[in-house]
Structure 1
Amino acid sequence: MSRSLLAATPFAGHVRPMLGLARALLGRGHEVVVHTGARYAEAVREAGAEHLPYRAATDFDDTAPEETFPAMARARGPRALLVDFRELFFGIAPGQAQDMLAAHEQDPLDAVIAEGTCFGAELFHELSGVPYATASLSPLALPSRYLPPPGAPFAPGRTVLGRGRDAALRLLLDRTVDAAFRRLHDEARSAVGIARTDRGGLHGAWSRDLILAQGTAEVEPFRPDLPPAVHFVGDLAAGSRGAAVAPDWFAALDPCLPLVHVSEGTLGRDGSSLVARTVQALRDRPVQLVIGGRHRAGRLPADVIDAGWVPQDLLLPRTDLFVTNGGYGGMMAALSHGVPVLAVPSSVEKWVGAGNVASSGAGRRLRPGRASPAALDRAVGEMLRDGDLRQAAQRVAGSMAAAGGPGRAAELCEELLEERGPRRIRA
């Protein structure tokens, strides 16, 4: 039996998949500690794991991170992405590493598995030597000579000219955005006394030994040079989105109406409310609307279910269409249940993930500027009638189930421990 630390920046979409992995490891007899913010302490304990709170790391409320990091509220345009990563991710990484080191000194850890924006795990790994794995919960942000640079909102070039464009873009990104991320990374490393790195981009802080990639190759562009450390595991959050008791509104769902589930997301939202536009778009269409999560639509009509937190493992099997701002975790949840996705991406990285889903045949993508209520109504109507779309979503669901989910991820973590040698294995 081993003792593993799972680390997640305190956002719902980051924590829930890690709790799926926590449950799988606990079910296989391992001890699990989860390092995340206080807002998710109860969810960690409900999963059966030990909660390690942020002490040296700066904690924040993911529904209002600007209150803790005011610079985020002032940033606009392309600079906003760098500010977000400077404040939320690289900025708190030294504190995360300190918290992990303190926990390790008190009760030694055998492995650390961190989602891809929890950069403190890499610092802890280098300081402690504890084996380290990364869980990629977004479109796979690894460079490839066959693709545009990670995050670029372009389809891969298939002609000589297109491949030349992709190569030029990769070089440009390396000298601009990746260089900026490398500086932030180096600042975090310097803060804990580690030498500079020559690895650029967000993946520069990821494990070299094991990357657990949420989703399947079916919702990723083809790349022959995928590193052997990468393993697609399907829906990492499987089993972590339920509820012991169904909410009152669940029993009131009308089984005779198509059900449309809508989520607006948190970070990376555009200037208007997707929920408000969708409710307006579908007000005359015979559908049942269930709104999940935080939104800015104000008071909704009485016949719209404004659910707040949604137990998606209960709702999605009843759902006909998922409308989203392109959050990857939400899209993977829908596809794992065979539900088609209509994405209106609110940021560049969400545009990429939504494009991957659309390319799989299991969804559609609308530009935010073109997603008027009339356009949303047309898209929803067409998608609800499209049997091929539903079949494609069910095909993706099958491939995600075959990938193994959190159970397969736990097996891969055990293999990493066997290969790299645990710091200590308990009897």
Structure 2
Amino acid sequence: MAGARADSRTHRIGIVAGPDAGHAFPAFALARRLEESIRPDGVSFGAVVYTGTRWLDEAARRGIRALELPGLTARADDDDGDAGDKLSGRAARIACALEPSLVAEGVELVVSDVITVGGGWAAELAGIPWVECSPHPLYDASRGLPPVGSGLAVGEGPLGRLRDAVMRTATARSIRLGERQRARARASIGLPHTPDPAARMVATLPGLEVRRPDWPERTHIVGPLLWEPTDDLFTVPEGHGPLIMVAPSTAVTGAADMVDHVLSGLGQVGRDVRVVVSGLDIDDATVAGICARAGLSPGAVVAGLARQDRLLASGEVEVLICGGGHGILAKSLTHGVPVVTIPGGGDQWELANRVSRSGAGELVRPVTADAVASAVRAVLDNPEHLTAARRIAVSAGEVVDPVWVIDRVLRG
């Protein structure tokens, strides 16, 4: 069992997530929520985040206790070409390496990211409960949906239902293979066949979810967990034209050369747009060169790393252009800002199609300057996009507090 708490009136929570921004940032956001929460009886929560090293210094600067997640580094014998082997084999290694730290830190409950499953397994080794957290919509296979990732809406009529059934059958083999790999990995460290989280949290807006007939038990939509890696604020370009925010994907699966295509397209919109390019690794010189080629005035474009949430909450941004990753989509739609998505791989295609079907934005693929310009004009000229985005924002009122979920598990 985990070690005793230094203060019996403070519950110690461990949060485990991988190093990618789309997973580490929600972990930091949850840690902050926990640290700021106090129950009516005076009991509080403390958090320690286990993740990759890239964000540890920034987390510490913001008052979040964060430690390196052991076992993340790939070994020479890891088969990264096999996603199931990578997920399960590395999870077993992480679990064994992490369990002693959970005990030393006095952790009573672990929140484990849905793809960093070693966190949950480490909790099982330590004999403490754990909660799974998906920092995006629920991606479980469903008997009532086409496979997630296809981007397809539920099939209608006999042919549509047949299409979905055939696709589910085609993916079922891969799912069963992954389950076998997981069972072998768990058995190798002395755990039973199936993981058993005490609850599951889905950190998205209800408006980005799809209805399914088999919603899992003990699974709660808790709303997006959003965190900013900086305190800096953008200085918005002067002028009266529409303000467009561009947020290139932070994922390795993001669309290539997105900024080049987008800025070239914005130069063809036909009105005096103002642009903020926001990202983790923005090269000012590259952006300036693209602006010159696109005919955009250097004064009309600001680029760098600053707080996206503050800019989106200002009410000035009329369109967000992004890769379709969940974090930036949720951030934009939380503030009712419509989007133009330029999806890459992974779940970006799925999410971009959901947003397009909702009416809250336009989808561009393949990406060209002309297609970007056309999509931006469509969003600017059609107020129904704004109405749909605001409808999704309102759905945030339907979520459950993640601290309540965690506290409920702790109370048994």
Structure 1 and Structure 2 fold alike (TM over 0.5):
yes
Taking structure 1 as the reference length, the TM-score comes to 0.81
Once residues 141 and 314 of structure 1 are traced to their aligned partners in structure 2, the CA distance between those partners, rounded to angstroms, is 29
- 5 Å-filtered alignment, 1:28-427, equals 28=37, 29-58=44-73, 82-83=82-83, 86-87=85-86, 89-175=87-173, 177-186=174-183, 188-197=185-194, 208-237=197-226, 240-241=227-228, 243-246=230-233, 250-254=234-238, 256-269=240-253, 272-285=256-269, 286-293=272-279, 294=281, 299-301=286-288, 302-303=298-299, 304-307=301-304, 309-317=305-313, 318-367=316-365, 369=366, 371-403=367-399, 408-419=401-412
| 1:9-39 Cα shifts (integer Å, max 9, x gaps) | 0111111112121111111221111001111
Structure 1 residue identity aligned to 2:390 = Q
Structure 2 residue identity aligned to 1:149 = P
- Secondary structure of the residue aligned to 1:45 is helix
* CA RMSD after TM alignment: 2.7
Once residues 380 and 115 of structure 1 are traced to their aligned partners in structure 2, the CA distance between those partners, rounded to angstroms, is 34
Aligned pairs, number: 382
> Do the aligned residues in 2 keep the contact of 1:275 with 1:297 (CA within 8 Å)?
no
> Do the aligned residues in 1 keep the contact of 2:201 with 2:222 (CA within 8 Å)?
yes
| 1:272-301 Cα shifts (integer Å, max 9, x gaps) | 311110011112442122222236997112
Structure 2 residue identity aligned to 1:344 = I
Q: Measure how far apart 1:243 and its partner are.
A: 4.6
Structure index of larger Rg: 2
Once residues 244 and 185 of structure 1 are traced to their aligned partners in structure 2, the CA distance between those partners, rounded to angstroms, is 40
Structure 2 residue identity aligned to 1:219 = L
Note if 1:25 corresponds to 2:34. Answer: yes
Deviates more, 1:384-393 or 1:5-14: 384-393
- Secondary structure of the residue aligned to 1:33 is strand
Q: Measure how far apart 1:386 and its partner are.
A: 1.8
Q: Measure how far apart 1:139 and its partner are.
A: 3.0
Identity of aligned residues (%): 27
Taking structure 1 as reference, are residues 390 and 343 closer, same or farther at Cα in structure 2, changes over 3 Å only?
Answer: same
- Secondary structure of the residue aligned to 1:326 is coil
Structure 1 residue ranges without an equivalent (≥5): 61-67, 73-79, 198-204, 420-427
Match in the other structure for 1:15: 24
Once residues 102 and 244 of structure 2 are traced to their aligned partners in structure 1, the CA distance between those partners, rounded to angstroms, is 46
> Do the aligned residues in 1 keep the contact of 2:249 with 2:255 (CA within 8 Å)?
no
Taking structure 1 as reference, are residues 103 and 93 closer, same or farther at Cα in structure 2, changes over 3 Å only?
Answer: same
| 1:34-74 Cα shifts (integer Å, max 9, x gaps) | 001111112332443322213343289xxxxxxx99987xx
Once residues 156 and 283 of structure 2 are traced to their aligned partners in structure 1, the CA distance between those partners, rounded to angstroms, is 41
Once residues 346 and 245 of structure 1 are traced to their aligned partners in structure 2, the CA distance between those partners, rounded to angstroms, is 28
Once residues 413 and 187 of structure 1 are traced to their aligned partners in structure 2, the CA distance between those partners, rounded to angstroms, is 29
> Do the aligned residues in 1 keep the contact of 2:255 with 2:345 (CA within 8 Å)?
no
Taking structure 2 as the reference length, the TM-score comes to 0.84
Structure 2 residue identity aligned to 1:361 = G
Once residues 337 and 411 of structure 1 are traced to their aligned partners in structure 2, the CA distance between those partners, rounded to angstroms, is 24
Structure 2 residue ranges without an equivalent (≥5): 1-9, 38-43, 289-297
| 1:239-263 Cα shifts (integer Å, max 9, x gaps) | x3275442xxx23432522221222
Once residues 147 and 30 of structure 2 are traced to their aligned partners in structure 1, the CA distance between those partners, rounded to angstroms, is 29
Taking structure 1 as reference, are residues 100 and 276 closer, same or farther at Cα in structure 2, changes over 3 Å only?
Answer: same
Q: Measure how far apart 1:392 and its partner are.
A: 1.4
- Secondary structure of the residue aligned to 1:357 is helix
- Secondary structure of the residue aligned to 2:55 is helix
Structure 2 residue identity aligned to 1:8 = A
- Secondary structure of the residue aligned to 1:359 is helix
